[in-house]
Structure 1
């Protein structure tokens, strides 16, 4: 038993193991054995909201087919740390990629595959505007995430002053509209560039089709085990254009998928077949 006198609800090893299996089977998220306190803290809020007295009762409710609660269970266990222009070295590379690709004409397609609360997708949109020096570049961005709550935040596109404080003031003036309450909203022109949709990266089928000029999948692979990572990367490869780029997080590498991708720059990959 993990239950201690300071805990409000009984929380057993069996409860934790069941939760680990449920989130792994559904979302591919591999919770380490040391994550008991995190899981307890995040899900205890759901027990309070529902007026339940034990994790056993809560898990029984989910297993009995409460789809809305299973959605909230999933949302509770996903991690959504993000910010505008996080890992900033990626965005000049994206701008360069877009400028090269625009010579071919047509609409450029980008996929933000773990968009969280939207800052990454909007950073991609801002970069597209800067690449073409217009608020209406020929770019469409598909932004997806498993968590329905953060998708709504991204779709709304309203952020606190703290969220935008590290941005260049010129960028804030150009791409945001200050609200009467002191928050900042993404300009309507940018909102037309991005579509937010729910997507589970380990689902048997995806709503995205490609081919994409660039895919961002940053700081999400670290939550998957190696076999799950390999399966996702196998599905990414045919969705990239022959000269498309895959952007990953600072602590991620694709050495175990060298048959699919090769390093192009700092945490930037291209298809292994590119340039052959």
Structure 2
């Protein structure tokens, strides 16, 4: 049954009624874990409607069935989820959290270099890569003087943003977010409209598609820094706990987990010790000797 149409510029999209909104809301949460609040109903309607126009479908129920239809439905879902889950990001987005990462790396760099370990940094929900490259810039500056090695992994559910992250090409306006300290050393191929992250940094960064609901099957282990900011707010509280429990298991002893301030204020884990800070929400994995958090008090 065709729906009433709503005009958006030169295009039209069907109106999304209450029943249809709940149905699509449930599908998105079932497959990605993300909860679409009623306040984002207009966003959901626009995103679905415009994609339906692209594939020549004018009915929400018919499009819903299309997504359930074998391999073609899997491919179409991959396209749609890119539209629904891509979130805003930028370079050096949270100075306080990155300052804590910098402090952690400065403290641990000599010991990690002596042990021959490669420092693993994981950007969870990396979107188009700005966060992962910000971590890479910090790691290069702080670890290279000690001969330290590092590897940054960025994961996201969206294949489209991961392609952009791998290319490392951004609008020239994004350059304003990168501190002057890093610009001459990490930027290559700059022109009037775009710039590219230097090859030596791109070689240190790996980007992979991971559904955060399936962290149990994620191969990443023993990470020294897990950076998971502005991700948990899209999930229900019980699911946030599941995600954080899985991330805690993937920290190396003494490793640092950073989450968004206020995203999970009452969460605790027996393996972790909370970092005492009013500006950053972070945890350190306990180890047999005195922890970094205890030493910094």
Tell me the TM-score normalised to structure 1 length: 0.91
Q: 1:141: how far off?
A: 1.1
Distance 1:231 1:273 in 2: 22
Per-residue deviation, residues 140-177 of structure 1 (Å, max 9, x unmatched): 11110011111111111001111111323342211011
Matches within 5 A, 1:1-276: 6=7, 8-65=13-70, 66-102=73-109, 103-104=111-112, 105=115, 106-133=117-144, 137-180=148-191, 182-203=193-214, 205-257=216-268, 259=270, 261-264=272-275, 265=277, 266-271=280-285, 275=290
Cα contact 1:151–1:198 (8 A) shared by 2: yes
C-alpha contact (below 8 Å) 2:122/2:154 kept by paired residues: yes
2: CA distance, partners of 1:255 / 1:115: 25
Report the Cα distance in structure 2 between the residues aligned to 1:31 and 1:69, rounded to whole angstroms. 20
1:96–1:131: 8 Å Cα contact kept in structure 2?
A: no
**DSSP 3-state at the match of 2:51:** helix
Number of aligned residue pairs: 275
**How far apart in 2 are the matches of 1:272 and 1:101?**
15
**Which one has the bigger helix percentage?**
2
Which of the pair has the greater relative contact order for Cα pairs under 8 Å at 6+ separation? 1
Structure 2 runs not aligned, ≥5 long = 292-297
Measure the CA separation in 2 of the matches of 1:204 and 1:180: 39
Q: TM-score, normalised by structure 2?
A: 0.85
CA distance in 2 between counterparts of 1:125 and 1:5 reads: 45
Aligned equivalents of 1:250, 1:3: Cα separation in 2: 42
Alpha-carbon RMSD across the aligned residues, in angstroms, is 2.4
What do the CA deviations read for 1:218-272 (whole angstroms, capped 9, x no partner)?
0110001011011111111111122111111134234133545443132222236
Q: Note the C-alpha offset of 1:133.
A: 4.4
User: How far apart in 2 are the matches of 1:95 and 1:189?
Assistant: 20
**Structure 1 unaligned regions, length at least 5:** none
